[in-house]
Amino acid sequence: MLKNPIYAVKCTVVFWNHASEYALEQYAMGKMSEGEVAPVEEHLLVCPHCCERVAWLDDFVESIRSAARATSRVAATGHKG
């Protein structure tokens, strides 16, 4: 059973050096330098688990940004619109 290649591949993908929560946050917010981004993107190519987390963080970051934009627009003009 241990020689089952499917099982081996699954292990490699699931347990191989996941990007940390912090790294994924920095990546989603575009705060990483090119040298830092490369290994993260390389990992995302093979890891659906981390891809899912980045997609979730992307949505999260975008909703925070649009909330921040709405707030600063109100502050700048003094009224909504």
Question: Candidates 2-10, 18-26, 34-42, 61-69 — which segment interacts with Zn ion by CB under 5 A?
Answer: 18-26
Q: Is residue 50 close enough to count as binding Zn ion by CB under 5 A?
A: yes
Cα 40 to chain centroid distance, Å, stands at 9
When binding is defined by CB under 5 A, the residue of 18, 29, 32, 58 that contacts Zn ion is 18
Please check whether residue 33 is in contact with residue 41, taking contact to mean a CB–CB distance below 8 angstroms: no
Structure tokens at 45: 């190519």
Specify whether the CB–CB gap between 35 and 25 falls below 8 A.
no
Task: State which residue, 28 or 50, has the beta carbon closest to Zn ion.
Answer: 50
Q: Does 57 interact with Zn ion (rule: CB under 5 A)?
A: no
